[in-house]
Amino acid sequence: MPTDGVNIKRRRFLVATTSVVGAVGAGFTAVPFIKSWKPSAKAQAVGAPVQVNLDSLDPGQLLKVMWRGQTIGVLRRTDKTLGSLPELDAYLKDPESLESDQPPYAQNEARALKGEFLVVNMHCTHLGCVPQFLPEVGPQPFEEHWNGGFFCPCHKSKFDMSGRVYKGVPAPTNLRIPPYSFIDGSALVIGVNPEGAV
């Protein structure tokens, strides 16, 4: 009789231990399975929207961020810069951005939802180099009528402060404008069009 009591206790102990070990094993198995539902960091970097805080961006300053493996520039322009944009129309290939790649809401002189902020793909439309940002106004070795903008040192393409391409350079079109939208005026999201926009 005493042996049966010991066996029952042993069985209960073994059943309880096996259950606990099985539950822990199921947990270890479930964690990688559940994690596989979430996109990897690499997948998120490839396509996930990027949020940019605008509070610390001073007028005249350019902030570079990565989105889908591309360098995106966020430039805060001054009223003076915006006012000088029409002065360059005669020197530009596509001043009205009719042949360039941008969302419909950015097909304007400022090429922006809000004129103050230019959100632009920094890769030259010629061969993809990233142009230098040269905001200084005045004659340059590469351009007599320089009102600030982007200069590609690879093949000498030039773009104004709206990313519009100059005539007579290798780049065929203006710099691209990615989809983006604003959040409460203090941040923007690159990769998401404004609500209701196509």
Is 196 within the bounds of a domain?
A: no
Is 181 within the bounds of a domain?
A: yes
pLDDT given at position 3? 58
pLDDT given at position 184? 83
pLDDT given at position 91? 93
Is 159 or 36 the better-scoring residue by pLDDT?
159
Whether residue 1 has pLDDT greater than 50:
no
- Check whether residue 3 and residue 98 sit in a common domain: no
- Check whether residue 135 and residue 165 sit in a common domain: yes
Q: Tell me the average pLDDT across 21-49.
A: 62
| Sequence-ordered strand ranges (E) for 122-164 | 132-134, 149-151, 158-159
Look up the CATH number of the domain holding residue 65: 2.102.10.10
Give just the sign of the alpha carbon dihedral 121, 122, 125, 129.
negative
Is 197 within the bounds of a domain?
A: no
- Check whether residue 17 and residue 104 sit in a common domain: no
- Check whether residue 64 and residue 149 sit in a common domain: yes
Alpha helix segments (H runs only) across the chain: 2-35, 41-47, 79-84
pLDDT given at position 46? 59
- Check whether residue 21 and residue 119 sit in a common domain: no
36 Cβ neighbours under 8 A, 6+ residues apart: none
Q: Tell me the average pLDDT across 85-103.
A: 92
- Check whether residue 146 and residue 68 sit in a common domain: yes
How does residue 198 score in pLDDT terms, banded at 50, 70 and 90? low
- Check whether residue 104 and residue 34 sit in a common domain: no
Is 195 within the bounds of a domain?
A: no
Number of structural domains in the chain: 2
- Per the residue annotation, which of 123, 126, 145, 155 is the catalytic one? 155
Q: Tell me the average pLDDT across 173-182.
A: 95
Is 142 within the bounds of a domain?
A: yes
Is 106 within the bounds of a domain?
A: yes
pLDDT given at position 145? 81
- Check whether residue 128 and residue 56 sit in a common domain: yes
pLDDT tens across 183-194, in order?
887 899 999 988
- Check whether residue 77 and residue 29 sit in a common domain: no
Is 165 within the bounds of a domain?
A: yes
Looking at every residue in the chain, the average pLDDT score rounds to 85
Is 155 within the bounds of a domain?
A: yes
Whether residue 172 has pLDDT greater than 90:
yes
Coil, helix or strand at residue 183: strand
User: Is 155 annotated as catalytic?
Assistant: yes
Whether residue 39 has pLDDT greater than 90:
no
Domain that holds residue 26: 1-38
Distance in angstroms (rounded) separating the CA atoms of residues 87 and 94: 14
- Check whether residue 28 and residue 78 sit in a common domain: no
Q: Tell me the average pLDDT across 73-85.
A: 94
- Check whether residue 25 and residue 68 sit in a common domain: no
| pTM for this entry | 0.73
Q: Tell me the average pLDDT across 65-75.
A: 94
Q: Which region holds residue 120: left if phi is over 0, alpha if psi is between -120 and 50, else beta? A: beta
Q: Tell me the average pLDDT across 105-123.
A: 93
Q: Tell me the average pLDDT across 127-145.
A: 89
- Check whether residue 57 and residue 150 sit in a common domain: yes
